[in-house]
Structure 1
């Protein structure tokens, strides 16, 4: 069982690395920013930070960069659709899955440009 999980995880990361190898450094950096933003926002959600608080942060970021503000608001909307998980292990799993999802979506979108 552990071997199968290890092989699946290895294949997943190899696949992401192979897909992202054809992208420019600028696009890869942008996808890493999206991934980090997704992680931070879902951590806030799972940590019980009120929606109004994170939206205020997105508004403040939007004053600096309209793109960043709209990205944060989009991620916040998606993150707050998920319920707060009851224990730390489940929270960490959800955070990891959320950030991986948005990194993958970014890579897919970048490859189409």
Structure 2
């Protein structure tokens, strides 16, 4: 073993995915959710001058479509999976109510105006 070579060793203590804040992208848009990926690791750098140890705590945040979570998560890799918070019931119900209500009002107005 040559003592002049530089080595980097790492130990991953924890990797996890968290989902939060589901929301609609616009009125008739897709249902989106924030995804946060967190990693905790130890890095050990050794070279001829000695050994240095670093703690790495990092996170990455993005937004994904709720319907694509099944394709993103891999059942063979457990840390890619996480509980999905409850989706907003009101926003999912509001759009069909508005569409049906608008359709009913349009039909009523069409026949009311036409009969006069």
TM bucket by the smaller chain? Answer: under 0.3
Structure 1 length normalisation: TM-score? 0.23
More strand by share: 2
Structure 2 length normalisation: TM-score? 0.23
